[in-house]
Structure 1
Amino acid sequence: MTETASFPVVVYDGVCLLCSRWVRFLLEHDREGRYRFASMQSQNGRRLLQTHGLDPDSPLSMLLVEDGHGYTDTTAIARVLRGLPHRRWHWLSVMMLSVPRPIRDVAYRFVARHRYKLFGRSEQCFVPTLEQRSRFIS
């Protein structure tokens, strides 16, 4: 799977409505197509989670795989925001990283544990448009 080595990959929960909104946000703002996406429910998403020490059956975090390294929780979000082409998202990354990691990750994990209750759940994974499909790894 050379595609995951060439591009940073965001592994997300495909049935979580918050996670799907995050992917839509990235598709809209990453116009250069830097990021690729794999749902946690896909074979490649599960493999990436396992490779980076996350339980694919009970993931409490999204995963960013970049240059062979796995990043989770708020560090993953900050790295993704920093990687967007427009500088307007970088301030949010800096602000997020100014909070000590244990504090910001506790808040992240609380939301992650309750994501379905707080934001809802879909019966099926987010379905990309024809133009977006090349950015998704099944």
Structure 2
Amino acid sequence: MKDNYKIILFDGVCNLCNGAITFIIKRDKKNSFKFAALQSEIGQQLISKFNIDTQKVDSIILIDGEKYYEKSSAALHISKELSGAYPLLFGFMVVPKFIRNSVYDYIAKNRFKWFGKKESCMIPTAELKAKFL
């Protein structure tokens, strides 16, 4: 396992977010990512370190070294690292951020209504534990 991984923070009680994390894990052939729920201790430490306002961003955040990406920018930067044709999605970065984030915010606002919510954060299987912080 390499040491210079990127960290994906996600809403641990969101079914859509958990599904997205499972999707990413299956396509992360280069082991680029580690994962942590926003609600976890490490998630809270990183939110504090980067001074992220979770009232405005409460779904997926990508931390890459000393930078972080949120909303659609996080999703597109993540897609760049995945196997298959998913890196092509990074081309959507040319779409102005306010348009990309409007679509992202609409989905994020409705995610619990559409996909439901868990009572607690996902517990990774033994083989996946190494991918979680």
TM-score by length of 1: 0.86
**CA shift for structure 1 position 49:** 1.8
The 5 Å alignment of 1:119-138 reads 119-137=115-133
- 8 A contact 2:6–2:33 mirrored in 1: yes
Q: Paired residues, what number?
A: 131
- Cα distance change of structure 1 residues 14 and 61 upon mapping to structure 2, 3 Å threshold: closer
Cα offsets for 1:107-134 (capped at 9, x unmatched): 1112212221121101121121111101
For structure 1, the residue ranges without an aligned partner over 5 or more in a row are none
TM-score by length of 2: 0.89
Q: Distance in 2 between matches of 1:61 and 1:17?
A: 11
The 5 Å alignment of 1:31-50 reads 31-50=29-48
The 5 Å alignment of 1:1-138 reads 6-56=4-54, 59-84=57-82, 86-94=83-91, 96-137=92-133
Q: Distance in 2 between matches of 1:66 and 1:19?
A: 19
- 8 A contact 2:14–2:111 mirrored in 1: yes
Cα offsets for 1:27-50 (capped at 9, x unmatched): 111123210000011011112122
- Cα distance change of structure 1 residues 35 and 126 upon mapping to structure 2, 3 Å threshold: same
